[in-house]
Amino acid sequence: MTEQRALPGLPRILVVLLGLAAAVVVIAGARGAASLIGPIFLALVVTIAAHPLRTMLDRHVPRWVSTTVCLLVVNLLLIGLACTLVIAVARFASLLPEYEAKFNEQLNQLTAHLHTLSISTDQIDNLRDHLDLGKLTGAVTAALSGIFGALSSVLFIVALVFFMTIDGSAFPSRLAEAAKAKPTLVEAVEDFCHGTRRYLLVSTVFGLIVAVCDTVALAIMGVPAPLLWGLLAFLTNYIPNIGFIIGLVPPAVLAGLDSGLGLMLAVVAVYCLLNLVIQSAIQPKVVGDAVGLSTTLTFVSLVFWSWVIGPLGAILAIPLSLLVKALLIDADPGSRWLRPLVSNREATTEPDPPPHGPPSSEPSPAAP
């Protein structure tokens, strides 16, 4: 009997370098197509989130009725969230000029106090240059212009959701057919969909808790427009780990301009007590347990995807990481040993797949 020898494989270092080179090319391409990838993936996530509603409606009403209802619900939700964000930033920009006189008075008091502490005039002048309300107003106006630019793709997203929702009625049956040929890949895609829905559910629940707590606290402290800042806290809750900082800036600045440094510090303290504990300590752990990503990886995902595809990457960081995990780890039986390294879950003992296809049904010859 002739001896069979396996062909020598590539050196491990070469495989690693080739993998890194391919990753760099893919990431560079994703950055170049960020304006296209972000809206497409957002439409996909929204369609995945609305699919259970579609499935429930299909049992009781005709398919075209369920499609229409899902489209109305999803589009109204998207438009409502976008309008809330625009109104919050526009309201903040409109309130800032009203406090310019009070801000200059507080700044004069601060510089006079610094003079009594023997601070040099050059340092005080430098501080006054940085504490310019006009610069803050200009930055907020620029941010508002950027938001309007981003909203120009809303029609594109709405059209994508329309076509994805129509295709969603037949997608489960097509997925079942594909599972006959690629069961592992289909299982990974289904896990991605379930994980995305769990993430959105957890983020929505925590966002509502944070929004209610912030609105009540701001109303008690007398901060202008507390309901608006509560809605902003709800929206920024979809940004992992650091979303509360974005939602903190408008109420803290307005509190300082309206009633002085004391109220501003009180707002910061309340947000740190509520939002920092809930959004940066409890929520990431719950999200990690729900979707199978470690707390560290959720934060790294935020930084990485924000760098790759921009502001939408901050909102879609967890679903994007779930998709990458599904395609590179869950869909490859040889890579499933990486699961405990990227998730908060314990490793499951699964038998390794046979190296040369399924085992033969013929009995093996007896050993001599």
All structural domains of the chain with their residue ranges:
29-339
Is residue 207 within 8 A of residue 283, CB to CB? The reply is no
Q: What share of the chain is helix, strand, coil (3-state, %, to 5)?
A: 80, 0, 20
Average pLDDT over residues 188-204: 87
- Place 85 in a pLDDT band, splitting at 50, 70 and 90: confident
- Place 352 in a pLDDT band, splitting at 50, 70 and 90: very low
* Cα gap 45→321, rounded to integer Å: 13
Tokens of 53: 């509603």
Query: Residue 130: CB partners within 8 Å, gap ≥ 6?
Result: none
* Cα gap 106→124, rounded to integer Å: 14
* Cα gap 339→345, rounded to integer Å: 8
* Cα gap 170→187, rounded to integer Å: 18
The per-residue pLDDT for 169 is 67
Q: List b or e across 95-112, with b for residues whose CB sees 16 or more CB atoms inside 10 angstroms.
A: bbeebeeebeebeeeebe
The per-residue pLDDT for 150 is 57
**Which tens digit of pLDDT belongs to each residue from 122-140?**
665 665 555 555 555 556 5
Query: Residue 328: CB partners within 8 Å, gap ≥ 6?
Result: 335
Tokens of 242: 């650091």
Q: What is residue 355's DSSP assignment?
A: B
- Place 345 in a pLDDT band, splitting at 50, 70 and 90: low
Q: What is residue 153's DSSP assignment?
A: T
Q: Fill in the amino acid letter for 251.
A: P
Q: How many CA atoms lie within 13 A of 126 on its CB side?
A: 5
* Cα gap 306→331, rounded to integer Å: 25
Q: What is the pTM of this model?
A: 0.73
- Place 5 in a pLDDT band, splitting at 50, 70 and 90: very low
Residue 35 pLDDT exceeds 70: yes
* Cα gap 48→322, rounded to integer Å: 13
- Residue of 88, 54, 57 lying closest to 74 (CA atoms): 54
- Residue of 172, 221, 143, 138 lying closest to 54 (CA atoms): 172
The per-residue pLDDT for 366 is 41
Go through the chain and tell me how many residues it has: 368
- Which of 119-133, 169-183, 309-323 has the lowest average pLDDT? 119-133
Q: Fill in the amino acid letter for 193.
A: C
The per-residue pLDDT for 152 is 61
- Residue of 295, 323, 299, 307 lying closest to 243 (CA atoms): 299
* Cα gap 130→138, rounded to integer Å: 13
The per-residue pLDDT for 350 is 47
Is residue 322 within 8 A of residue 328, CB to CB? The reply is no
* Cα gap 76→45, rounded to integer Å: 16
The rounded percent of the chain whose pLDDT value lies above 90 is 1
Phi-psi domain of 133 (left: phi exceeds 0; alpha: psi -120 through 50; beta: other):
alpha
**Which tens digit of pLDDT belongs to each residue from 279-291?**
667 777 777 777 7
Average pLDDT over residues 154-158: 73
Greater confidence (22 vs 358) lies with 22
- Place 364 in a pLDDT band, splitting at 50, 70 and 90: very low
- Place 104 in a pLDDT band, splitting at 50, 70 and 90: low
Is residue 306 within 8 A of residue 321, CB to CB? The reply is no
* Cα gap 69→57, rounded to integer Å: 9
Is residue 285 within 8 A of residue 6, CB to CB? The reply is no
- Place 13 in a pLDDT band, splitting at 50, 70 and 90: confident
- Place 332 in a pLDDT band, splitting at 50, 70 and 90: confident
The per-residue pLDDT for 357 is 44
Is residue 321 within 8 A of residue 305, CB to CB? The reply is yes
**Which tens digit of pLDDT belongs to each residue from 66-80?**
878 888 888 788 777
